Structure 1
Amino acid sequence: MLAKRMQLWKATQAALTMNSTANKGATQMFPTGGSSRDMHLSSSWSNQLTTRVMLAPPSPLIPLYSSAAAGGLRYASSKTDVPPNMESAKELVDLPAIPDAPIPPAIQNISTDPESLMETIDMAGEPTFASIGLGGWSPVGMVQNCMEFLHCTWDIPWWGTIAIGTIVVRTLIFPLVILAQRNSAKMSNNMPQMQVLQLKMTEARQSGNAIESARYAQEMMLFMKEKGVNPLKNMIVPLAQAPLFLSFFMGLRQMANTPVESMRDGGLFWFTDLTLADPFYLLPVITSATLYLTIELGTDSARLSAANMNTMKYVLRALPIVIFPFTMNFPAAILTYWACSNFISLGQVAVLRIPAVRDYFKIEKMVTHPPSALPAKKKGFVGGMKESWDNMKITKEIEERQQLDEIRFAKAGKGPLVKTYKYDPTKPPVQGAASPTGSLKPPSKEQ
């Protein structure tokens, strides 16, 4: 093994000697400071020498060796016992120079100015909503700004931020819930008298007596004003919640689609990623179940068992089932808000059923009327739909008759006079003409 290494060392020294001799001869033939023609000849001679050496027959195994004195060139020999002469170098390999390490590009978006950094990065070290296209002065943008403030100022996880925002919003509209509950209690207690007037008004309208229908409608308005009842007050809470729900829905959807990177691990329990849908479909189920209970108990408006909600309650009860296929694909952030809002509604109905709480908010105690005391009898879903359809047909027929009477009246007033007598009653009868009474004749003087 030592003998082989010595032979390889001798071959390497011979190659180095050959290279130094070649360089010395080239320097003597083409000294430094010559013209450009001399430099061209030197380059040509070196190329020819390299070409001749490269044309040597290849060897099956060519070990490579390097040396700093070789000027970055590597020499190889196919023989292990090569004498130190010119024939020892069989191949000359000229490797290209190793390029320098690339310089990383300068980051242009982040400035060293503290004000610019504050505009790009918030207090939690995350990109601000303004830098990623969120926020603003629209209702959706203001919801996003409030969420960002809660999350960054107190370092609250995103699920807690959404829950706190929902609680704050529902607390602000709680006075409207109290107003709707008071109106609902008054309507339920005065339901028998209101149903009597409503039935009379319906019968008058179906019979085509517009005067009686208007009179009963006026009586209904005076009665409700006297009792402080207004059906529109029951719609205050849904009308107030609709823009808030849409703002939260669109704001959270934009935050999940952008996405806000910190929301990827800002969830809770099994829904850790708030930017994706719930993989176990538990959040959609919880949302639909709580929505059904909210509608059934009537936490924010009149109870669905009231007669004025006889038809609408069936539509609202089917709503949670209808929306379930759509909520399955919603991001977990949206369903977190929706489920929190439904739980708050259920908590409100539990609190507002306490007698002491109802007395404190001046909500009347609801009187339970037996079915026999109510003029309007329950007819079920099918019966109610059939009655509504019959009322619609009757109302349409009455309107068509009224339009036909108006057309006939206008035509009779503008058309020619219709002759209804055989003679003109404003003129005396002609002598010898037939009497309008037929066989009766006026008595003569002789008689």
Structure 2
Amino acid sequence: MLAHRMQLWRTTNAAMAMTSAAGRFTPQASTGSRRDLYLQRITRGSSLPLAAPEKWSNLGQLRFASGGATAAGVSATKGEEFMQAVPKTELVDLPDIPAAPVPPPADGLNVMDVMNAAGEPSFASIGLGGWSPVGMVQNCLEFLHCTWDIPWWGTIAIGTLAVRTIIFPLVILAQRNSAKMNNNMPQMQMLQLKMTEARQSGNAIESARYAQEMMLFMREKGVNPLKNMVVPLAQAPLFISFFMGLRQMANAPVESMRDGGLFWFTDLTMADPFYLLPLITSATLYLTIEIGTDSARLSAANMNTMKYVLRALPIVIFPFTMNFPAAILTYWACSNFISLGQVAVLRIPSVREYFKIEKMLTHAPSALPPKKGFVGGMKESWDNMKISKEIEERQRLDEIRFAKAGKGPLVKTYKFDPTKVAKPISAEPHMRLKEPPNKQG
């Protein structure tokens, strides 16, 4: 680096001495010469080709890229001697600065595609909505919230009421079937008991006969236990759609839901800090299961064991619902309250008569089999399971023995072989019986 600077200094002094000796050195020309020498120093370290001397004949019109000024004090004819001592490179004009890019076209989008009627970001702009079941639920909630300017807790309640109203005919169908099952409970339980006894004794024929009688009896009375599952099966996809839709809205989050709650749960995107919504949800779920609004009464024969499991369900799900967003628990609590309201209305005699629901009969305890309680019911279920397993094992062994008897060798089950002829007894004299003597002779 130091040697390069010394060479540059010597070249500059030589050029200045040559110019002053010829009587052409002026302060103005020295400035241009120094810039030329500076340009020469930069060019030496690059790989750019050097320009020919004839291209620099008109030195007075040369413009530098840095300052844009002409080499003052150097004429066109006398510049050739100077260019022989100081080689130059050809300067290329730089292109103009490009103009600012034009923004892409809007493709038909307007402000309403980004902002909804309430002045909030639309669900489509934040990745919500669509034509899936979850997206349609979100679109309906957005329409209710934006069209009538309803707060989010009211929007969720109205949406829940609309869905429960749609499936209300299925609730009536389940209530009719529940009333018929309750009124025909003694006969059904008697057939059920006989069928259980025949199965425990291993009499498959009697068990099948009682099962056939049970099927004919239910067909005659118009009773079907599967009808009690119509409402839960229809409500399951709706509940899942609401659950996933509200969870996505809370996680997005929808900013207006932060203050769209009620009372103590103002932020619907967060969990209830006082755990009151989970308690309300579990309590209303227990009442819904106990009263049997959407299915048969829990005292029915087919729900004898299942009712204990269903009663424990609200307690089991409470630790999980504690961390749910308040929007989900608002929907769940509203659904439970609507179910309780429906069963309260359907208990009115005039309403039941209008919907052709039979009156629930109260049977005497003597007409029903004795209740065995939880422990007795579990023990009976365990015994039935063991008996069923033993019967299946017995049938399997019988099939193995039958196949072995048909394919294996004959098994001897007697001592005397009738295929072999026995030797006849010879009538020898000493073998003859002597006649008894005559007493008279």
Question: Is 1:389 the equivalent of 2:382?
Answer: yes
Q: Does 1:152 align with 2:164?
A: no
Q: What letter corresponds to residue 185 of structure 1 in structure 2?
A: A
> 1:350 matched to which residue of 2?
344
Distance 2:102 2:216 in 1: 74
2:370 to 363, 377, 382: 377
Deviations 1:183-237 (A, max 9, x none): 0000000000111111111111111111111111111111000000000000101
Letter in 2 for 1:196: M
Question: In 2, distance between residues paired with 1:108 and 1:397?
Answer: 80
What is the alpha-carbon distance in structure 2 between the residues aligned to residue 397 and residue 112 of structure 1?
Answer: 75
Q: Say which of 383, 405, 410 aligns to 1:412.
A: 405
Q: Structure 2: which 5+ runs fail to align?
A: 1-25, 37-99, 427-431, 434-441
SS in structure 2 at match of 1:303: coil
For residues 193 and 380 of structure 1, what CA distance do their matches in structure 2 show?
21
Q: Which residue of 1 aligns with 2:291?
A: 297
TM-score (norm 2): 0.73
In structure 2, which of residues 24, 31, 38 is the aligned counterpart of residue 35 of structure 1? 31
Distance 1:300 1:247 in 2: 20
Going from structure 1 to structure 2, the CA distance change for 1:116 and 1:33 (only over 3 Å counts) comes to farther
Deviation, structure 1 residue 181: 0.3
Q: Does 1:127 align with 2:121?
A: yes
Distance 1:31 1:280 in 2: 88
Q: Distance in 2 between matches of 1:189 and 1:433?
A: 81
Q: Which amino acid aligns with 1:134?
A: L
The one-letter code sitting in structure 1 at the alignment partner of 2:399 is: E
1:431 aligns with 2:423: yes
CA distance in 2, matches of 1:180, 1:405: 44
How has the CA–CA distance of structure 1 residues 122 and 428 changed in structure 2, closer, same or farther, with 3 Å as cutoff? same
Relative to structure 1, the CA distance from residue 409 to residue 32 in structure 2 (aligned partners, 3 Å threshold; closer, same or farther) is: same
% of aligned pairs identical? 83
Q: Deviations over 1:114-162 (max 9, x none)?
A: 7332222222222221221111121111111111111112221111110
Cα offsets for 1:292-311 (capped at 9, x unmatched): 11111111111112232111
* Greater displacement, 198-207 / 219-228: 198-207
> Which one-letter code corresponds to 1:264 in the other structure?
R
Q: How does 1:66-215 map to 2 (within 5 A)?
A: 115-215=109-209
Q: State the 1:433 CA deviation.
A: 8.7
Q: Secondary structure at the match of 1:155?
A: coil
Aligned to 2:75: none
CA shift for structure 1 position 423: 4.5
Residue 320 (structure 2) pairs with residue 326 (structure 1): yes
CA shift at 1:275, angstroms? 0.3
Matched to 2:177, the amino acid is: N
Tell me which of 264, 275, 278 is aligned to 2:269.
Answer: 275
Q: Give the whole-Å Cα distance in 1 for the aligned partners of 2:35 and 2:139.
A: 73
Equivalenced residues, count: 343
**Normalized against structure 1, the TM-score is what?**
0.72
Cα distance in 2, alignment partners of residues 418 and 351 from structure 1:
74
Q: Which residue of 2 aligns with 1:219?
A: 213
Q: Alpha carbons of 1:108 and 1:295: their partners in 2 closer, same or farther (altered >3 Å)?
A: farther
Aligned amino acid, residue 406 of structure 2 = G
Q: Report the CA distance shift for 1:189/1:302 in structure 2 as closer, same or farther (over 3 A).
A: same
Q: Which runs of 5+ in 1 are unaligned?
A: 1-29, 41-104, 435-442
Q: Could you say what the CA RMSD is over the residues aligned between the two structures, in angstroms?
A: 2.7
CA distance in 1, matches of 2:186, 2:417: 61
CA apart distance, 1:401: 1.1
Cα distance in 2 for partners of 1:299, 1:270 equals 29
CA distance in 1, matches of 2:417, 2:277: 88
Deviations 1:360-408 (A, max 9, x none): 000000101121111x211111111111111111111111111111111
Q: Distance in 1 between matches of 2:102 and 2:371?
A: 73
SS at the partner of 2:362? coil
| Partner residue of 2:395 out of 402, 408, 420 | 402
Looking at structure 1, the residues matched to 292 and 413 of structure 2 have their Cα atoms a distance apart, in angstroms, of 66
Shift in alpha-carbon separation, 1:383–1:244, aligned structure 2, 3 A: same
Evaluate the alpha carbon distance shift between residue 32 and residue 272 of structure 1 in structure 2; reply closer, same or farther with a 3 A threshold: farther
Query: Structure 1 417/293 Cα, relative in aligned 2: closer, same or farther at 3 Å?
Result: same
